[in-house]
Amino acid sequence: MTQSALPGTVATSDRVLHVLAVLAQQGRAMSAAELMEHTGMARSTLYRQLARLKRWGFVLESDGGYAPGPLSLQLALGFDLASHLVRQARPGMVELSQQSQESVGLIVAVNDQAICLDMVESHHSLRCSFEKGRSVPLRAGASAKCVLAHLPTTARDAVLTGQWGAGTPEREAAHQELEAIRQAGFATSESEVDPGVWGCSVPLFGASRQAAGAITLMAPNVRAQGQEAALIRMVVVAAIDCIPLGGASTDFNLMLRHGRWQGAVQVLQNACVPGSTPAGLCMVLSGRWQWGGETMEAGEGLWWSTAAPPSAHAALQPLASSADTPAIAWVALVPGFQPNRPLAQ
C-alpha cells in the first residue's frame, strides 16, 4: 500500500484534509480506487470526504477522476502573494540562477514531503526543473535530504522511523548520512530522483536560526561534471545571503589577493577545528560557541594565517546550553588558486 500516511495516524476530523493533501501531492486527477490506496480509507468514508470537498470547490470530478478544484487555485495564489519566505529568497535565487546559468528551486518540508515553493528556470534549452508545487518524499535527492537533515530532531527521527522502521540498519545508515549533511552544510545528489540530474541543496535559516527551507541548484550531469565544487560554492554563498530571513543581519566581506588564495564557504552547526586548514576564518551566526577557554556569541569569530600542527588543534564547539540553534560561517582558505579552476573538495 502506497499511503502518504497510515490510517491509524489520521484523526477522523483530519480525513478530509488527508484526501486533499494526497490530491495536491500527486499533481494529477486520481480515481477513487487510487485515492483509497493512498489514504487507506474505505470507499464509503472516502466518498463522504470527496462530497464535502466538491461542495466547497476544493475538488472537481470529471470522467471518474478527482482533481484539485478552483478554490485550491485561489489558495495557491494567496500563498504566492503572502509567502514571506518566497519574497525573501527570490532575489538570491534569481542571482544564483544568473550566475550559474542553471535552475534554482526553493524547497520546504511538510510532514514527510519536500515541496517546491518557487522556481527560477535556467535559460538553457537543456535544463532541469523541480516544478513549482511538486512534492517528493523526504528520502532521496539533495533537496529532500537537506531539509530532512535540518528538521528539529523529533520531527527528523519520526520521518526516519516511518521510512525505515525503528532500530534497523537502514535507518542508522540514513541517520549517519543526514548527520554528515549537517556537518558539511550542504547536500548533493546525482540521478537519485530524476535520471541525469545533479543537484546541490543548502539550508536557509530564519531569524530564530531554525532552518526555514533550502535552496537547490539543479543541472544536467553533462554540464555539472567537473564543475561541482564551483557550483557548490555558488549555492552556499547564495544561501548565506538569504540567512537573515525576517531578522537583522551581520555581514562580513572577505578580500583575497588575486591568484594567491581562494575561500570555500560553509555554514556549520557542529564542532570544527580552527588551524586545520592553511588559513581561514569563522564567525558565529547564532548560538554560543566555546574555543579553549573562550566563549563566542553571534558576530564574534577568529582567524588564522598558518596551519597549526595536529597536536595544537582545539575544537570550536557549540554549547549545549545555548537557546538558539548553533550556526557558524566557516571560510577555509587555500593557496595556489588558479582562475577558472574549481576548488577540489
Cα–Cα distance, 297 to 280 (Å, whole number): 19
Decide: 134 and 27 in contact? Cβ < 8 Å: yes
pLDDT in tens, 23-64: 877 767 888 899 898 888 988 888 888 888 888 778 888 778
pTM: 0.56
* Res. 163: pLDDT tops 70: yes
Sequence-distant (6+) residues with CB within 8 A of 249 are 243
* Res. 332: pLDDT tops 90: no
Cα–Cα distance, 50 to 172 (Å, whole number): 39
Residue 4's pLDDT band (cuts 50, 70, 90) = very low
Average pLDDT over residues 141-158: 89
* DSSP for 234-289, written as a single string: HHHHHHHHT--BTS----------TTTEEEEEEEE-S-B-TTSSSEEEEEEEES-E
Residue 329 has a pLDDT of 85
Residue 281's pLDDT band (cuts 50, 70, 90) = confident
* Res. 200: pLDDT tops 90: yes
Find the DSSP H helices in the chain. 15-26, 32-39, 43-56, 70-82, 84-100, 142-149, 153-164, 169-184, 221-224, 228-241
pLDDT in tens, 288-322: 888 888 888 887 888 877 655 555 567 888 887 66
* CA-closest candidate to residue 333, choices 280, 290, 273: 280
Residue 248 has a pLDDT of 40
| Least confident piece of the model among 9-18, 174-183, 334-343 | 334-343
Decide: 92 and 235 in contact? Cβ < 8 Å: no
pLDDT in tens, 226-269: 888 889 988 888 887 765 444 444 445 565 555 566 667 778 88
pLDDT in tens, 70-105: 767 666 655 554 467 788 888 889 999 999 999 999
Query: What is the number of alpha carbons within 13 Å of residue 65 lying toward its C-beta?
Result: 9
pLDDT > 70 in the chain, percent: 78
Q: Which of the two residues, 336 and 333, has the higher pLDDT score?
A: 333
Coil, strand, or helix at residue 8? Answer: helix
Decide: 30 and 23 in contact? Cβ < 8 Å: yes
